[in-house]
Amino acid sequence: MQGPISIQTHRPPPMSKAERQRQFRERNPGYYGRLHRKRTAAIMASLAEKAAAKVAVKTPLMLPAPVELIVIPWHQCDPVQAYADAGAVDCVDGASSC
């Protein structure tokens, strides 16, 4: 019968996060460029899709209805002429006679 099997594990020496990142970048050149291009392309596609949807579904303007002029015959008069007719002034608009 054999004795217990011992497994020796090799632990890498401790290193800082900056050192791990530097080594990763050395092993994988262009990784971050591809990652950023992919992310930028996805964002641009999303923006283009939203712009196309906005153009396709253009809502009509909610303008107010046209103003209707209410005509009440006994109230339709020129205020300047009414003032002159009341006798407050002799002539309207510099006329020699009213």
Count of structural domains, the chain: 1
Q: Are the C-beta atoms of 53 and 67 separated by less than 8 Å?
A: no
| CB hemisphere CA count around 25 (13 angstroms) | 8
Q: What is the pLDDT of residues 1-41, one digit of tens each?
A: 566 777 778 888 899 999 999 999 999 999 999 999 999 99
Alpha carbons 15 and 87: distance in angstroms, whole number: 104
Band (pLDDT 50/70/90 cuts) for residue 98 is very low
H or E element, residue 40: helix 31-56
pTM for the whole structure: 0.41
For residue 94, tell me if it sits in a domain.
no
For residue 8, tell me if it sits in a domain.
no
Domain membership of residue 77 as a residue range: 17-58+67-85
For residue 41, tell me if it sits in a domain.
yes
Q: What is the pLDDT of residues 37-52, one digit of tens each?
A: 999 999 999 999 998 8
